[in-house]
Amino acid sequence: MRLCKYALIRRWMLPGEKLSYGSRRFTSLSTNPLIHDSDNLVLVEGKASSRTAILNRPAALNALNMSIVGRLQELYKNWEEDPAVCFVAVKGGGRAFSAGGDIVALYNLLQKGTVFIFLLPSFPPLHLYGVHDFLFLIRNLEECKQFFWSIYRFIYFLGTYMKPHVALLNGITMGGGAGVSIPGTFRLAADKTV
């Protein structure tokens, strides 16, 4: 019991959290329009006192993006506060549990906001030999930080989750997908898990 109290206190101390006695309030859900789950990226199954979140992005091997993480955090928060839900499970749709974070989207975000500025030194004239100093100005750096912050915050949330959490691993599981499964209470890996 002491460990549970300590976990809740640690979670309350996170920046951006509003403290309240007896319950948590999350203000970390982004106001980004990508958070709204219009494409059904996370499906929900409910049977009796259990809930199952199904990652539904098989074309991208269920890679985690801001939409999926925001939706999962919202669902898990609601299920933790609901006394009718006794345990929660998560699984992947298709041939992967989760291939981790959506690195392709992150790369595209960085490339869209990158400006190259060439700085040529005056002495010695290294630019004559093909050596240049580059200054990379990344405009979308804050969005990239928000991407990692939301994933790590959700993983921490799972580590301090008050109800049993079961991760059903089948297929490809890497990076952030492993990060979502490891902090849970139980992990079940099938023989096809890589």
Q: Could you please report the per-residue DSSP string of 170-184?
A: -SEE-THHHHHHTTS
Residue 7 forms part of a structural domain = yes
Rounded CA-CA distance 150/73 in Å is 9
Contact 66, 32 (CB under 8 A): yes
Per-residue pLDDT of the chain (194 residues; tens, 9 = 90+): 444 544 545 555 555 444 333 333 333 333 343 444 445 899 999 989 999 999 999 999 999 999 999 999 999 999 999 999 999 999 999 999 999 999 888 888 878 876 555 454 444 554 555 545 544 556 677 888 899 999 999 999 999 999 999 999 999 999 999 999 999 999 999 999 99
Domain limits for position 153? 2-189
Task: Specify the number of domains making up the chain.
Answer: 1
Residue 18 forms part of a structural domain = yes
Residue 194 forms part of a structural domain = no
Residue 101 forms part of a structural domain = yes
Say whether pTM exceeds 0.95: no
Q: Could you tell me the two tokens for 61?
A: 């091997």
Residue 60 forms part of a structural domain = yes
CATH number at residue 11: 3.90.226.10
CA distances for 73 relative to 26, 118, 127, 149, angstroms: 9, 42, 50, 13
